[in-house]
Amino acid sequence: MPSLRLLAGALLWLLATLVFTTASAQPASAPQPASAPVAPARSVFVTPADDAWRAALPRDPAAATQAYLDRLTPAARSRSDAYFEGGYWLQLWNLLLGLGVAWLLLATRTSAWMRTRAERLTRFRWLQAGIFGIAWLAVVWLLSLPLAIYQGFLREHQYGLATQTFGAWLGEQFIGLAISLAVGGVVIALFYALVRRAPRRWWVAASVGGVALLTLMIMVAPVYIDPLFNTYKSLEDGPVKASLLSMARANGVPAHDILEFDASRQTTRVSANVSGIFGSASIRLNDNLLRRTSPAAIKAVTGHEMGHYVLNHVAKIVLQFGVLLVVGLAFVSWAFTRVQRRFGPAWGVRDVADPAGLPLLAALLSLYLFVLTPVTNSIIRIGEVEADNYGVNAAREPDAMAEALLSLVEYRKADPGAWEEVVFFDHPSTRSRIFAVMRWKAENPR
């Protein structure tokens, strides 16, 4: 399920915030190619199956996996492939948009003008940087809004994955902007204070501060930010909740409650996630999962999420992405010096301590993260494989997990090529995941 994908998205958002690419980091909904047909919004994705069908599945994992995938209708495969493959292009369009906005602000000296205006408003340098950062975030958000509307609203409705009106969607974007401005202004002010104190080695201190900030935000966001977008409450008492808590106790998970949230107000997607870190972690299931799947599938998905918790995936990802941040900021420091020497006078950028150079920092970090996409995807994908293995051992519901995985084909390509999966997939493919649980089933006959 998409738990680590959600977490990794938050991690990348926060890492980018550290050197101020938050405003260009829009939700990664995949656009279709211009010629890709869009199936009706609520077309049938999977042909039904019953217990007799599952009982007749072959013991061979590969054959059983193929039997599950054969239940996907041709329309489902075509629609899913078009949606997901469009995401490959979307990554490029977002990069080019970010680079274009950075070039526009630098080449027209708009960034230098904003810096000068901030200097006239106050004599405190830390406040000048904060004011500039807030203005920069707002400008980039506004320039990026057309693509955000397409990929986050129009495109989602075209594929039947969204449930919000445009007004409700835009309202949430403004809430996100307000959070970005509040957090970003403070972070930018602190960042430039570090740069002024250590202009040659600023990236070392910024990396340490970035990891600390990242950890703090992962602990704070589930409690104070997520409730701004969704309502979280305890899962209703009954057999399902009792089964989940029993499984948690049996596997040493200190969970006293399971949360559900009303994701159906925004999307039709089935999902779950583990949020928080250390003692603040919690398992949260969206209401689409609870309404659209069976109790056995809910148990299987929750077992997967417990795997993330028990295996400390959130903490591990913080550390792994922290290492990438150190390398990334070192690259940004090196590249900024060389680009600034050549173009700085024309752009009005004085040096690395000048906030007017913020768009250049953002562009360099964006390039670094784009090139590292296969690496970051692989880090997350490995964690998902581990959580799948843990979950099927904890829940012992391989067929229910396979059914849940089929539902994800609504927005994930089911059967990619090997290298395609390595480069573009932050979760294992549906074929890979179903094969794993069918292999477990073959090795653990009832």
pLDDT tens by residue, 334-353? 999 999 999 999 999 999 99
**Predicted local confidence at residue 441, as pLDDT:** 96
Give the pairing of strands 259-261 and 282-286.
parallel
Instruction: Determine contact, residues 230/285, Cβ cutoff 8 Å.
Output: no
Copy the structure tokens of residue 221. 């966001």
- pTM of the full predicted structure? 0.84
Instruction: Decide: helix, strand or coil at residue 276.
Output: coil
Where exactly are the structural domains of the chain? 1-33+81-380
The position carrying tokens 């949020």 is 275
Instruction: Give the 3-state secondary structure of residue 165.
Output: coil
Q: Are 18 and 206 in contact (CB under 8 A)?
A: yes
Q: Is 273 helix (H, G, I), strand (E, B) or coil?
A: strand
Residues 247 and 306: their CA atoms lie apart, in Å, by 9
Residue 278's pLDDT is what?
62
Reported residue count of the chain is 446
Helix axes 125-149, 74-107, angle to 10 degrees: 140
Distance CA 424, CA 91 (A): 10
CA angle 78/82/83 to nearest 5° reads 120
Beta bridge partners of 162: 267
- Spatial neighbors of 216 by CB under 8 A, at least 6 apart, are none
Residues with pLDDT less than 50, the chain: 1-43
Output phi, psi for 275, to 5 deg. -125, 150
Confidence at residue 350, expressed as pLDDT on a 0 to 100 scale: 93
Do 22 and 180 form a contact (C-beta atoms < 8 A)? yes
Q: How far apart are the first and last CA of the chain?
A: 25
Number of H helices, E strands in the chain: 18, 4
